[in-house]
């Protein structure tokens, strides 16, 4: 029996899919591998498709519009359905100019040779097929590792940038996302946390501002320059994050995720105890005067038989 291998191609105009699909199927026709090629037109669609299906290989064209705007590229190695996938990247840029999450991939600089690309894909797929038995322990362990729902993360990112833009902080830049140890303290000094829960997991979302970014945001919100953290302006973080999470709630709820009311946590070095088996992700942002961080931590819930 052939072993099915799911391949996600992130390609907005079908050219990459048309380039590799038929030759790949033909050359693997008599092998033990049955490739299934699925295309996503951008990072958002890739996130949705990888939420519902596990992929053995992800092929990305970095020139796809809006690919770098959301969390998919930056968290591709932490999401549960792509964390073990082999990654192949095609780009006009040099590998050193790509996000860190893509630098460990098999890299092809445009213009790419179709024969070389297909050969690399076949080599990887055949190697995985023949090496399955040796890889079973690692794969079994990975199956129990939870990775956060990228759609939830993208909803919070979108709401955060929208709300801060409305407050008059347009120069907000998302930096490289990455995994976060669940029990590590928050990096900011003023944080707001909401608990989240679905049928599959429970955990929390947090937005944590350092002093510089918080004073910048609250100054624009209060329309008065704030130079120091005080009890009065620290209370504003609850209102800011109420607005952010409120903007994201409808979308997050549509994914079957429930949220509590935000709780403010003041002071540097604060943390929330997490159960063993939880996993997390952090997305840093830079403003003109500091940084803030979105973190999401979740623990899988046991399925009821």
Q: pLDDT of 238-290, one tens digit each?
A: 777 788 888 888 888 887 888 888 787 777 777 777 766 677 778 888 888 88
- Specify which residues 291 forms β-bridges with: 286
pLDDT higher than 60, residue 148: no
Residue 58: the pLDDT is 92
Count CB neighbours of 56 within 10 A. Answer: 21
Average pLDDT, the chain: 77
Quote the percentage of the chain above a pLDDT of 90.
Answer: 4
Nearest to 55 by CA among 64, 68, 46, 63: 46
Across the range 96-125, mean pLDDT stands at 82
Res 133 pLDDT > 50: no
The pLDDT confidence band at residue 127, using thresholds 50, 70 and 90, is low
**Range with the poorest average pLDDT among 107-121, 143-157, 276-290:** 143-157
Say whether pLDDT at 181 is over 80. no
The pLDDT tens digits for 12-60 are 888 888 888 888 888 888 888 888 999 988 888 888 888 778 899 999 9
Q: Using the predicted structure, report yes or no on whether residue 135 has a pLDDT greater than 50.
A: no
Mean pLDDT of all residues in 103-131: 77
- Confidence at 150, pLDDT banded by 50, 70, 90: low
Per-residue pLDDT tens over the stretch 48-107: 888 778 899 999 998 887 776 556 777 777 677 887 888 899 988 888 888 777 877 888
Q: What is the pLDDT of residue 111?
A: 86
Q: What is the pLDDT of residue 7?
A: 92
What is residue 59's predicted lDDT score, i.e. its pLDDT?
92
pLDDT surpassing 80 at residue 174: no
Looking at residue 71, its pLDDT comes to: 66
Asked whether 201 and 277 are in contact (CB, 8 A), the reply is: no
Q: Is the pLDDT of residue 137 over 60?
A: no
Percent of the chain past pLDDT 70, that is, above it, reads: 86
Instruction: Judge whether residue 141 has pLDDT over 50.
Output: no
pLDDT at 134: 32
């Amino acid at each position: 029996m052939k072993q099915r291998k799911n391949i996600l191609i992130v390609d907005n105009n079908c050219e990459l899919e048309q380039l590799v699909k038929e030759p790949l199927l033909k050359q693997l026709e008599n092998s033990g591998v049955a490739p299934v090629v699925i295309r996503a037109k951008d990072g958002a669609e890739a996130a949705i498709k990888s939420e519902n299906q596990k992929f053995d290989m992800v092929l990305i064209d970095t020139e796809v519009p809006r690919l770098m705007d959301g969390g998919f590229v930056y968290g591709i190695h932490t999401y549960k359905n792509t964390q073990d996938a082999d990654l192949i990247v095609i780009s006009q840029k040099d590998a050193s100019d790509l996000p860190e999450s893509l630098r460990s991939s098999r890299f092809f600089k445009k213009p790419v040779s179709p024969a070389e690309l297909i050969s690399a894909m076949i080599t990887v797929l055949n190697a995985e097929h023949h090496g399955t038995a040796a890889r079973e322990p690692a794969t079994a362990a990975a199956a129990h590792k939870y990775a956060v729902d990228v759609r939830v993360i993208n909803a919070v990112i979108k709401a955060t940038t929208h709300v801060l833009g409305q407050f008059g902080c347009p120069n907000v830049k998302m930096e490289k996302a990455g995994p976060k140890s669940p029990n590590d303290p928050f990096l900011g000094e003023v944080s707001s946390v909401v608990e989240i829960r679905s049928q599959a997991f429970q955990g929390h979302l947090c937005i944590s501002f350092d002093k510089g970014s918080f004073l910048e945001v609250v100054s624009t919100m209060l329309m008065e320059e704030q130079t120091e953290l005080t009890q009065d302006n620290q209370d504003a973080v609850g209102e800011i994050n109420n607005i952010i999470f409120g903007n994201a709630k409808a979308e997050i709820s549509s994914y079957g995720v429930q949220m509590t009311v935000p709780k403010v946590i003041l002071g540097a070095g604060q943390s929330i105890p997490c159960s063993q088996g939880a996993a997390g992700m952090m997305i840093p942002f830079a403003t003109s005067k500091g940084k803030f961080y979105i973190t999401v931590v979740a623990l899988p819930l046991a399925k009821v038989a």
